[in-house]
Structure 1
Amino acid sequence: MSGKPTFAFVTIGGGLHPGPVVRDLTLANRLHRRGFKVHVYWLLEGRRDLVDPGIEQSLLCHGARYRFGRPSEIMDRLGLLAALLPEGLGQRAVLGREGGERRLVNLLWALIGTPESDTALARRLGDFVTRDGISHLMLGCATLGPLALAAKRLGGDTFEYALTFQGDARFADCARSQGLFERYRERLQAAAKGSRWPSLVASADGLKRVAAELGIAEERLRVIHSGVEVRRQAVRPPLWMLKNVFPGLVEDVPIVTCFGRQDAGKGHDLLLYAVKQLQSRGVRLQLVICGGSTVAASGGRAIVDLAGRLGVALHHAGPVSAAVRDSLLAHSHCLVYPAVDREASGLVVAEAMSHGTPVLIPDHGGITELIRDGDRAGGLVFRRWDSGDLACQLGYLLANEVLHRELARNARAIAERYDAERMVDRVLQHLGVPSPTECPEVDGVPSAVAR
């Protein structure tokens, strides 16, 4: 492959896979800023506001395509027309009242449950790639790998694709529930083998899990941690941004934040039980929970309902803007990430530490790799699934000011390891692509930002 590469990112929009989307678009935006030509191909729904000006965006298919059991070209066209209308107007008619989880199930069946992976969509992807002169097709969710492999087999063998395993555990669980897991393994093995490069994973624990569960050889996998925007100035965003969304917040009581997808497996119930225990002991705190959901409003309602049953005072919201998120993380005493599932990574943990905010996480999964650097730690861990231990660790962090200051100081320094520019450097190195920016080395890897 010669000449300067042109990148395209195939990413699942609509709030259904926020972690991989953030990672994809961070990488896409940074590559564009370095002078590469970049395209974004949205699957199900687009988010143009997240993409830098100058990056070409296309909707590969609308979510309505997977409203029913089989991919529907007619529903896809209706969805594409509805997407041109003002937000919300016409969307319910084509998407129905079902949550996004049903669309993911139908998407999985289209990609895995048939001999060819949604042939019409694969052909469309190949047409997009040819039209835009794409040399490097980046798939931030490896479950989409069979689609890229099908596009190559249909005559689009002018490009190479790279897989990243992030967010695929949800698809794997779905495949098990649908009786498709063995076929899922076979198709992902074929997609990984068909790529020129080893597939990327976000943590060492994630690598072990992908190898064990999906049967992909470890030598065909590489660890590159996801990158975030590291805040190098300790100036807090204004508090009024928070009070616009959470008007009941006060300044003299510590804010404990849980930020992320409000779905099963994220452990919000554990956090609510832990906070109830602390409040019964007279510990003062303000609990904030916010983020999107793949199950429409039902995920958030379940959290609010449980908080009401427990008598826990809760400041709650759905998705919030990046400005509100940054203000919330900066003003929080700590971030709690109480995931029940074995998480390969957790971008919000690195984001919180970049603000100098200590974190509290479970003691399993790749997320534990984020908070330590040698003897330094940017947070505490609690025993997984144990709300009692979560309450103890959270209470300790609220009461011990010396510990909190130490963790806050460490957190910002540790977050430097996950700077987005480092991620870009390592991805380009992995692909064998020289960066147009000449720069010094950091940890033996060229870096575009002098530190």
Structure 2
Amino acid sequence: MTDQPTFAFVTIGSGSYVGSTVRDLILANALHRRGFKVVVYWMMECKPELAADGIKQRMLCYAPRYHFRRPSEILDRVIAPLLFLFPLHARVRVSQGIPGYADRLLENLTRCLHETPETDPVLVKRLLKFIALDDVSHLMMSFASICPLALAAKKNSTLPFDYVVTFQGDEHFASYARKAGLLAVYRQRLKEVVQGSPWPAVVVSRDYLNRISEDMDLAPERMSVVYNGIKLAERSEKPPFSILQSEFPALKEHTPIVSYIGRQDTEKGIDLLLYAARLLQARGVALQLVVCGATAKGKCYRDAISGIADHLRLDIHHVGSISPEVRDALYAHSRCIVYPSICREPFGLVAVEAMSHGTPVIVPDYGGITEVVQDGEIAGGLTFRTWDSGDLARQLERLLADRSLHRELTEHTRMMAARFSDEQMADAILEHLGIDARERRRDGTYGRVPGRRAIEEAHRACV
């Protein structure tokens, strides 16, 4: 093994975790651009198009592995590769057509990783094989909840690697552990995996650090905030409005557009936005409401959105997934982007993306997402009282009616978004790991890279 670090990202490429996957691959691509060797190990599903050219990708396991309460090698190694010959949209349509199937897979995954001290030993062996093949030094685990795999691999190997714990969506796993009656065991395993890493766990916002500390009884000093990052939008002229009309033919150019972009699942609170829009409609406030994005657990909530809109006699422009070109045009032409989540969001990539395009946002006053929108007295958007559609309507009306307020927020948006660039995230992660990418040696290796001895010393210091 050389002194140059190799980063292996272990990430779940589907379902409710797509935002976390996007974050992981943004970071992976940023490190790859700097000359580091990067590989990606996919779990459950894969999104190979997210990785930059030159990044090696391997399938650690397929979703059908967790079809049953115990992992199935036959489904994973024999049946699943055949199923994955079908295009992604066909696989998603079938899996989402089975009520509760995605939840069942993830609950079974949680059981397999936490229920017993034996953490899916066959998968651990496969992970170790990949680590050896790719000469991995830093195993970047997408969630603390899947870190039992990394801890088991570390305990069963003498390979000179260690793992980084990241908290960025683990409340979902905690819910599955609670349903399975494993919450106490799950909390204990999280303590073990955090203690087993030489570095403090990465947490994606200050609020989320407090939440994890309270909910999982973890010491705050064993965690460190590293904000997520995005590839910032370049300043340019607005895309032609015709790009939007290709997806939304009835959309009018000169009537304010209010948009929701993101997953259409129950925890995202899109129904609150519908109620707020109906209140504004009753007051005679002109707006066009756009709702778009994929779903993770089937079309039930998306169908409910359509039904609620019909009952409210509210015209909405409502579709599923949209292309990046349409998404960017929607960011640019919207009066504001609303993200009305009813859960305590750890972060808010959509809010950062919107501000990066110069568009103000409205988000709940709850969770890490508020840290994205506000910085002291400066803000790139407004907050509303969580779960309060009446207050959401009031804040929306302010942005629609008050031109000076909208102009002031718009002037701050790109500055607010710039705090969360992919390069800043990469800088923060490297600093967190003690790697100085600026100190490149003549032989092409990097300064201050902890080898096995340094990793072990750091681990002993934090025990």
TM-score bracket for this pair, using the shorter chain length: over 0.9
* 1:121 Cα deviation after fit: 1.1
Counterpart of 1:111, as a letter, is L
Pair 1:143 & 2:155 matched:
no
The alignment partner of 1:365 has SS state of coil
Report if the CA contact (8 A) 2:362-2:382 is conserved: yes
2:85 is equivalent to residue 84 of structure 1: yes
**C-alpha distance in 1 between matches for 2:206 and 2:28:** 24
TM-score, normalization by structure 2: 0.91
CA distance in 1, matches of 2:96, 2:289: 34
Aligned equivalents of 1:92 and 1:391: distance in 2? 35
| Aligned residues between the structures | 438
Q: What's the offset of the Cα at 1:59?
A: 0.9
The 2-side partners of 1:308 and 1:55 are apart by 46
Equivalent-residue separation in structure 2 for 1:23 and 1:103 (angstroms): 22
**Which of 202, 211, 236 is 2:213 aligned to?**
211
- Contact 2:71 2:112 (8 Å CA) reproduced: yes
Structure 1 96/116 Cα, relative in aligned 2: closer, same or farther at 3 Å?
farther
Q: Specify the code of the residue in structure 1 equivalent to 2:162.
A: E
1:130 aligned to 132, 138, 145, which one? 132
1:167 Cα shift?
0.9
Partner of 2:14: 14
Tell me the residue number matched to 1:235: 237
Corresponding residue number in structure 2 for 1:33: 33
Corresponding residue for residue 346 of structure 2: 344
Secondary structure at the counterpart of residue 266 of structure 2: coil
* RMSD after superposition: 1.9
1:18 partner amino acid: V
Provide the rounded CA distance (Å) in 2 between the counterparts of 1:400 and 1:302: 32
**Secondary structure of the structure 1 residue equivalent to 2:202:** strand
Residue 432 of structure 1: aligned partner: 434
Distance 1:398 1:210 in 2: 37
Q: CA deviation at 1:427?
A: 0.4
Matches within 5 A, 1:203-352: 203-352=205-354
| 1:30–1:384 Cα change, 3 Å | same
Structure 2, unaligned runs of 5 or more:
441-463
Alignment deviations for residues 225-255 of structure 1 (CA, whole Å, 9 cap, x no partner): 1001222414222323322222221101111
Shift of 1:437: 7.7
- State the secondary structure of the residue aligned to 1:407: helix
Output the CA distance in 1 between the equivalents of 2:409 and 2:90: 47
CA separation of 1:175 and 1:94: change in aligned 2, threshold 3 A: closer
Q: Which moved more, 1:164-173 or 1:99-108?
A: 99-108
Instruction: Quote the sequence identity (%).
Output: 50
In structure 2, what is the Cα distance between the partners aligned to 1:18 and 1:153?
30
In structure 2, C-alpha distance between the alignment counterparts of 1:420 and 1:364, rounded to whole Å: 24
Instruction: Please report how far the alpha carbon of residue 204 of structure 1 lies from its aligned counterpart in structure 2 after TM superposition.
Output: 0.7
Describe the shift of the 1:348–1:59 C-alpha distance in structure 2 as closer, same or farther (beyond 3 A).
same
Contact 1:15 1:292 in 2 (8 A): no
TM-score, normalization: structure 1? Answer: 0.93
Offset of residue 224 of structure 1: 0.8
Deviations 1:333-352 (A, max 9, x none): 10111111111111111111
Deviations 1:90-125 (Å, cap 9, x if unpaired)?
A: 787899834422211111111112222211111111
Q: Do the aligned partners of 1:9 and 1:41 also contact (CA within 8 Å) in 2?
A: yes
User: Per-residue CA shift, 1:111-142, capped at 9, x if unaligned?
Assistant: 11222221111111111111111110101211
Between the aligned partners of 1:94 and 1:318, the Cα distance in structure 2 is 16
Shift of 1:223: 0.5
Partner of 1:45: 45
* C-alpha contact 1:126 1:156 (8 A) present in aligned 2: no
Change over 3 Å in CA distance of 1:406–1:90 after alignment to 2: closer
User: Residue type matched to 2:26 in 1?
Assistant: T
Asked if 2 retains the 8 angstrom alpha-carbon contact of 1:361 and 1:368, the reply is yes
Q: Which has the higher contact order (CA 8 A, sep 6+)?
A: 2
> Structure 2: how far apart are the matches of 1:132 and 1:272?
49
Residue aligned with 1:200, SS:
strand
